[in-house]
Amino acid sequence: MPTKRHNYFQSLKNQKGAALILSYLVLTVLVTLAIGLALSNVNELNYANRYRNATAAFWLAEAAISRFIEDTAMLNGGSQTISLGGGTIVLTKDDTDPTLRIVQATATVDGVSREIEVHFVR
């Protein structure tokens, strides 16, 4: 009987190494999943920031067109650059066609630009 007990303890010692390797594998899988989720969250945050900046740029361009409609003399000297709401707007007009006036507003917020072009028939 003592030999069986000795073999049992010997085999138990061998299984401790297998348990260690298995725990390392499980740990590697969990760390990989955590890194994947973290990268996914970072990408989602970047997408949300770009969407926010694009929306802000669109509405700034819209505000510049509205300002021009209220005061059409503001572009008599050519194009105009306006800083408003954390962004920059470049407002230009094209009067080369005597029957048509084209007003273009390009707004940029944190590197994201949106452009609106309006055609006025004279």
Q: What is the pLDDT of residue 6?
A: 59
Total-model pTM: 0.73
Q: What is the pLDDT of residue 43?
A: 96
Residue range 10-45, pLDDT digits in tens:
665 666 677 888 899 999 999 999 999 999 999 999
Gap between the Cα atoms of 88 and 4, Å rounded: 84
Tokens of 48: 């949300």
C-alpha dihedral sign at 119, 95, 103, 117: positive
Residue range 59-98, pLDDT digits in tens:
999 999 999 999 988 888 789 999 988 899 999 999 889 8
Q: What is the pLDDT of residue 14?
A: 60
Gap between the Cα atoms of 52 and 64, Å rounded: 18
Q: What is the pLDDT of residue 13?
A: 60
Locate the DSSP E strands across the chain.
80-84, 87-94, 100-109, 112-121
